[in-house]
């Protein structure tokens, strides 16, 4: 996909140049190319106006999603996806702290000055294989520094999310964060509250799944950003102690390639279920993300009892859709506490020796079977099914006939027990 998109983006540049316009790769893809990292997507900056871009590539192959800001999406073949083509511009005031009130089309040099960080402010000419750097990005890239272009306070005021992005780039690239840029983050961190929860959550996702998640969270803490994102972790020590937070950070560092939900559950593991759900709702996480995070936090001690559970209890826990994440969370928590890893080793051994179809076999009977036999749904109905399922998982019964016989015994016992 990425290679095809690069080829498609190069063709866009070539076509714009042949039509008499300036055109270059711009932004993060240039940074990634110079770092010899795979670029997630390719953006093109050009002197062509939006209407000229649409005319050149055709109305059917373009989307005017951000035309008022000089941005046109050019649609490519399925393998190449789409490429954002933006006219060189300088921005007017950012009264909402997110987007400019308007734009003025300009030169590449002026366009570079309105971008966020020097390492993201370079252009690359894919036809002549040359870098155009008007902001000192190459030097900062070589030195491993994340530095705001010109005045860092002004860059952060324009878009408050840049405070989180500064931290994310420094952490995920393993770069130093320029002192003046970090000071601006510290001073302005309370203003992050003006940013939408969805945008904050998106940055948080990128930080927590990266291998440098520990450094990202520590920078968020030092920069005052964690006070805005998850104040429950920092402002009220009645909810979570400093030791709890340090333990959460240590656990984060012990996770191996976690997805966002596991990392988030690890970060919040010392909080109550109610607080966890409050945080997830505030960040506008999906219902599925919220349920998964809350379940992991609520069940974080369950596997510690694995060696003493019945077969049925153990299998039902291991059959849960989030059990693999729970095992990873338990492993990290026990390691961080320097506790005995026997429960984790026990579960890993059990999973190796036990086929998946034995851990979660199809039920021997269902509610429909009981209805067909003339039983009416009710509390006893459910209890019988649960008892039959437990017996099946405990290997006490192995066939449908065994299950039906057990139901008859349970029915008889209930009848004998009536007053």
User: pLDDT of 388-407, one tens digit each?
Assistant: 999 999 999 999 999 999 99
Q: Which domain covers residue 74, as residue numbers?
A: 1-143
Kindly state whether residues 306 and 404 are assigned to the same domain: no
Kindly state whether residues 50 and 112 are assigned to the same domain: yes
Q: Which residue has the higher pLDDT, 40 or 415?
A: 40
Pick left, alpha or beta for residue 133 (phi over 0 → left; psi -120 to 50 → alpha; otherwise beta). Answer: beta
| 373: in domain | yes
- Which H/E stretch holds residue 142? helix 137-143
Q: Of 334, 359, 384, which closes a domain?
A: 359
Kindly state whether residues 310 and 379 are assigned to the same domain: no
pTM value is 0.89
| 248: in domain | no
Kindly state whether residues 403 and 342 are assigned to the same domain: no
Counting residues of the chain whose pLDDT is more than 90, the rounded percentage is 82
Kindly state whether residues 10 and 50 are assigned to the same domain: yes
92-113 tens-digit pLDDT: 565 655 566 656 788 999 999 9
Q: Which residues contact 406 (CB under 8 A, 6 or more apart)?
A: 387, 388, 391, 397
pLDDT tops 50 at residue 1: no
pLDDT tops 80 at residue 168: yes
Give the pLDDT band (50/70/90) at residue 292. Answer: very high
Spatial strand order in the sheet of 62-66: 62-66, 71-75, 82-87, 43-46, 23-26, 123-125, 130-132
Burial of 382 (0-12, 13-18, 19+ CB in 10 A): exposed
| 391: in domain | yes
Closest residue by Cα to residue 274 from 249, 239, 307, 301: 239
Residues paired with 117 in a beta bridge: 148
Kindly state whether residues 388 and 311 are assigned to the same domain: no
Tell me the C-alpha distance between 122 and 185, whole Å: 23
pLDDT tops 70 at residue 91: no
Kindly state whether residues 18 and 117 are assigned to the same domain: yes
Residue 150 confidence (pLDDT) = 96
Least reliable range by pLDDT among 86-90, 270-274, 281-285, 373-377? 373-377
Q: Which residue has the higher pLDDT, 160 or 67?
A: 160
Kindly state whether residues 331 and 378 are assigned to the same domain: no
Kindly state whether residues 324 and 410 are assigned to the same domain: no
Kindly state whether residues 97 and 24 are assigned to the same domain: yes
Least reliable range by pLDDT among 59-63, 359-363, 407-411? 407-411
Question: Where do the DSSP E strands lie in 306-366?
Answer: none
Pick left, alpha or beta for residue 219 (phi over 0 → left; psi -120 to 50 → alpha; otherwise beta). Answer: alpha
Q: Which residue has the higher pLDDT, 241 or 159?
A: 159
What is the DSSP annotation of 185-207?
HHHHGGGGGGS-HHHHHHHHHHH
Kindly state whether residues 309 and 374 are assigned to the same domain: no
Q: Of 143, 167, 200, which closes a domain?
A: 143
| 350: in domain | yes
pLDDT tops 70 at residue 366: yes
| 262: in domain | no
Give the pLDDT band (50/70/90) at residue 419. Answer: very low
Domain count, the chain: 3
| 233: in domain | no
Give the pLDDT band (50/70/90) at residue 353. Answer: very high
Least reliable range by pLDDT among 202-206, 265-269, 353-357, 411-415? 411-415
Q: Of 102, 126, 143, which closes a domain?
A: 143
| 162: in domain | no
| 247: in domain | no
Least reliable range by pLDDT among 134-143, 259-268, 304-313, 374-383? 374-383
| Tokens (6 digits) for 349 | 């051994």
pLDDT mean across residues, the chain: 93
Kindly state whether residues 11 and 28 are assigned to the same domain: yes
Residue 47 confidence (pLDDT) = 95
Q: Report the pLDDT averaged over residues 188-197.
A: 97
Least reliable range by pLDDT among 81-95, 179-193, 277-291? 81-95
Q: Report the pLDDT averaged over residues 33-41.
A: 93
Burial of 11 (0-12, 13-18, 19+ CB in 10 A): middle
Are 86 and 43 a contacting pair, CB within 8 Å? yes
């Amino acid at each position: 996909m990425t290679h095809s998109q690069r080829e498609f983006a190069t063709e866009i540049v070539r076509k714009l140049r042949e039509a008499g316009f300036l055109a270059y790769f711009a932004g993060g893809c240039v940074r990634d190319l110079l770092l010899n990292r795979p670029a997630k997507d390719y953006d093109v900056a050009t002197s062509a106006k939006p209407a000229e871009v649409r005319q050149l590539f055709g109305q059917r192959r373009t989307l005017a999603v951000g035309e008022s800001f000089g941005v046109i999406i050019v649609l490519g073949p399925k393998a190449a996806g789409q490429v954002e083509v933006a006219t060189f511009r300088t921005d007017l005031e950012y009264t909402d702290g997110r987007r400019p009130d308007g734009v003025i089309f300009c030169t590449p040099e002026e366009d570079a000055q309105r971008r966020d960080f020097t390492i993201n402010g370079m252009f690359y000419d894919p036809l002549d294989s040359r870098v155009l750097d008007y902001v000192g990005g190459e030097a900062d890239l070589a030195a491993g520094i994340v530095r705001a272009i010109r005045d860092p306070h002004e860059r952060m005021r324009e878009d408050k999310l840049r405070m989180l992005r500064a931290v994310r780039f420094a952490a995920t690239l393993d770069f130093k964060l320029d002192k003046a840029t970090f000071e601006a983050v510290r001073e302005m961190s309370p203003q992050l509250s003006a940013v939408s929860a969805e945008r904050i959550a998106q940055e948080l996702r990128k930080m927590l799944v990266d291998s440098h998640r520990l450094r990202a969270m520590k920078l968020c803490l030092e920069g005052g950003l964690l006070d805005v994102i998850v104040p429950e972790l920092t402002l009220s020590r009645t909810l979570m102690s400093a030791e709890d937070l340090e333990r959460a950070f240590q656990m984060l560092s012990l996770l191996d390639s976690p997805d966002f939900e596991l990392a988030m559950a690890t970060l919040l593991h010392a909080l109550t279920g109610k607080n966890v759900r409050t945080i997830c709702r505030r960040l506008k996480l999906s219902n599925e993300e919220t349920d998964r995070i809350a379940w992991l936090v609520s069940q974080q001690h369950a596997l510690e009892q694995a060696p003493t559970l019945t077969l049925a209890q153990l299998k039902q826990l291991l059959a849960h859709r989030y059990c693999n994440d729970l095992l990873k969370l338990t492993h990290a928590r026990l390691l961080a506490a320097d506790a005995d890893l026997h429960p984790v080793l026990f579960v890993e051994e059990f999973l190796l020796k036990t086929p998946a179809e034995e851990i979660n076999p199809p039920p021997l009977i269902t509610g429909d079977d009981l209805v067909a036999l003339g039983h009416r749904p009710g509390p006893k109905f459910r209890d019988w099914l649960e008892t039959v399922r437990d017996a099946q998982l405990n290997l006490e019964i192995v066939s449908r006939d065994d299950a039906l016989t057990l139901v008859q015994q349970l029915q008889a016992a209930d009848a004998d027990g009536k007053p």
